[in-house]
Each structure stands twice: as structure tokens, then as C-alpha cells.
Amino acid sequence: MLFNRNVNGARGAGNCRSLVSLAFLVLLFGCGESEQSVPASAPQLDPAPALTIGVQEQRPARVVLPHDYSIERRYPLVILLHGFGANAEEQDFIFHLAQRTTKDQFILVLPDGTLNSEGMRFWDATPECCNFEGPPVDDVGYLAALMKEAMGIYAVDPHRIRLVGHSNGAYMSYRYICEHPVAVDRIAVLAGSVFLKPDSCRDPLPVDVLHMHGTADDTVPYAPNLPPDEDPTKIDTVGAEAAVGRWAQVAGCAAEPELIDHRDYHQRLAIQGDPAETEVFRYRDCSSGRRIELWKSVGANHIFLSANDHWRDDVAAFLSE
């Protein structure tokens, strides 16, 4: 989902094959309700609103509502950010969020990144990923505009606005919470990372963070990949543990996470015969009250095609709480 094409042309040379594989599979297969009361001063909403936003930004995004959508409730707003070279519909082939909006009671927005000269969509997240051509694109502003528009049209709980991203979309999720022109309270990131330099994150505020990463990721490695000893075929990254650790520090958590569970999140993966291949780590004693977790999937790759419905259910539950 992310093909790193920075100034070193050798970087990411093998990752395009992963992207093509995902596109092929998409073609092959056809690619808790809130208890909050509605404020008396809330604007009158259309009970059957249009299902597209972002038209004024000339980047329309599809919206998926629960089948039993009601303007008398307030729902989490979840925005799915795709990986480099993909689009929102293809990305949901991995997460299956559109089919969970009713069961988990959330509103889903499916935006697309900008097309580059080769027809590959990207989010302008960090210098490492993934605007390799320029000029800069204000994707933070675009996402904020979608949030504002959604809050004016749909029954959104303004205190439960969430981002979920894969690869380049994960980088963009982390980038957004460094600036947050519209506040989000929670992000879920898969196979992405943060700015290499902590000072590049302009204004970090505590949010709930779920970071998911496979140890066999050959695009955005789980382990650090930094100069002078980095692997030139992979993207430079501080690594999964350091990335989530930064946000644990922002949230005022204990220095080290605690291993709290092992879960079976992937088909055909196991640790010494145990199908529960994913190690769940949680940071304790967060003074901000935030929830910071790392789901380390031993043996899982970058694209996560091996993920099962248990994983999808748990991700949707995190995003809809």
C-alpha cells in the first residue's frame, strides 16, 4: 500500500508488487450507539442527507451511514485514509468498515488522496511519505474541511472524531494529530510511522492511539530503519515501538508498555504452533487518561491481507466506542 519513491530511486523497488497484488484481489473479489442526548441548540439535520461531501474542495468523499441512522442520536465520525497508490474503496477491502457501520454505530467517510503524475494517489504526510513530486498539498486542511462539513450535515458526536489509516494513510493520521485544526480524540494506524524528527510535530496533544504493525513488514519496517545503517530498499522510520512511544509520552503514560494479551488476528500465522500471533501491549498510568496500545502481529506483512474478522471487529470497536 506504500511504494516509497524518494530521491533514492532504489527505495521501495519491490513494494509496487504488493500494491498490484492488492489491486488484483480487489478486482477479483469485487472489491455503540452514543448515549449523549442531542443538544437543544443543535442545528436541524436532514434525516436523509446526501452521501457525498468534499465537493467544494473538488475532492468528493463518499459517506456511509448506519442503516438505522437517526438524527436523534450522535455518532462517532470515522475517516478512512488509504495507502499510497490505492484509494478509499480498495483500502476498505482490508478493514471492511463500510459493512460494520450499522453493527458498531458510526459514520464512515471514504476520501481519496491526490493523484501524482503517474496516477498514484497519496497523502502529503511527512518528508518520507508520500508526496514524492511536490508541490505541497494541504491534506490536513482538507481533512479538517471534511470534518466540519460532516458535522454540519450528519448527526456527528463532535467529541468522537477518529482517523484510521494504512501505510501512507497511517502517516497522515499521525501528521494530522500534530496540527489538529479540528480536534480528533482517537486514531488507529496500521503499518505507518511518525516524523523522523520529533520537533516536526508542531503541536502534539494527547489522543487515544492504536498502532498496529506486522513484524514481517518489508515496506515500513517494524524495527527502526535509520541512517547510517538503514536498508535502502525500505522507508526510513523510527520503528513501530518508538512511534507509539512518542504518543504515550505525550499522553503522560508509563515509560514502557505492558503485554496484556495474545490474540489470533491473522489466518495461517502462529507463534510456535499458537494461533494467537498478535501481542497486545498497553501503556499504563497515563496522566491524560488516554488509551495507548500497540498490536504487534508476529509474521504479518505490510498489506495485512492475512487479517481475519476478529481483527476487523476489534478495530471497528476501537473506532466506535
Are 204 and 177 spatial neighbours (Cβ–Cβ below 8 Å)? Answer: yes
Q: What is the mean pLDDT of residues 250-262?
A: 98
Across the range 227-252, mean pLDDT stands at 95
Interval 114-144: pLDDT, tens: 999 999 999 999 999 999 998 999 999 999 9
State the CATH number of the domain containing residue 285. 3.40.50.1820
Query: By the 8 A CB rule, do 298 and 281 touch?
Result: no
User: Residue 312 corresponds to which amino acid?
Assistant: R
Q: 3-class SS at 119?
A: coil
> How many CB atoms are closer than 10 A to CB 171?
33
Tell me whether strands 107-110 and 114-115 are parallel, antiparallel or unpaired.
unpaired
Spatial separation of the C-alpha atoms in residues 255 and 251, rounded to whole Å = 11
Task: Tell whether 8 is covered by a domain.
Answer: no
Average pLDDT for 190-203: 97
- As a whole number, mean pLDDT of residues 235-242 equals 97
Containing domain of residue 273, as a range? 15-31+48-320
Burial of 228 (0-12, 13-18, 19+ CB in 10 A): exposed
pLDDT per position as a tens digit, 17-70: 343 344 433 333 343 444 455 655 567 999 999 999 999 999 999 999 999 999
Residue with cell 512511534: 243
Give the model's pLDDT for residue 134.
86
- Cα-Cα-Cα-Cα torsion 245, 247, 253, 256, nearest 10 degrees, comes to -10
Quick check: is 37 in a domain? no
Please report whether residue 180 resides in a domain.
yes
What is the C-alpha separation between 6 and 52, in angstroms, rounded? 33
What is the total count of domains within the chain?
A: 1
Residue 39 lies in a domain: no
Identify the residue with better confidence: 20 or 194.
194
Q: Tell me the three state secondary structure of residue 123.
A: coil
The tens digit of pLDDT for each residue in 278-307 reads 999 999 999 999 999 999 999 999 999 999
Q: Residue 245 domain-assigned?
A: yes
9-23, pLDDT tens digit by residue? Answer: 334 333 433 433 444
**Does residue 108 belong to any structural domain of this protein?**
yes
Residue 36 lies in a domain: no
pLDDT band at 270 (very low <50, low <70, confident <90, very high): very high
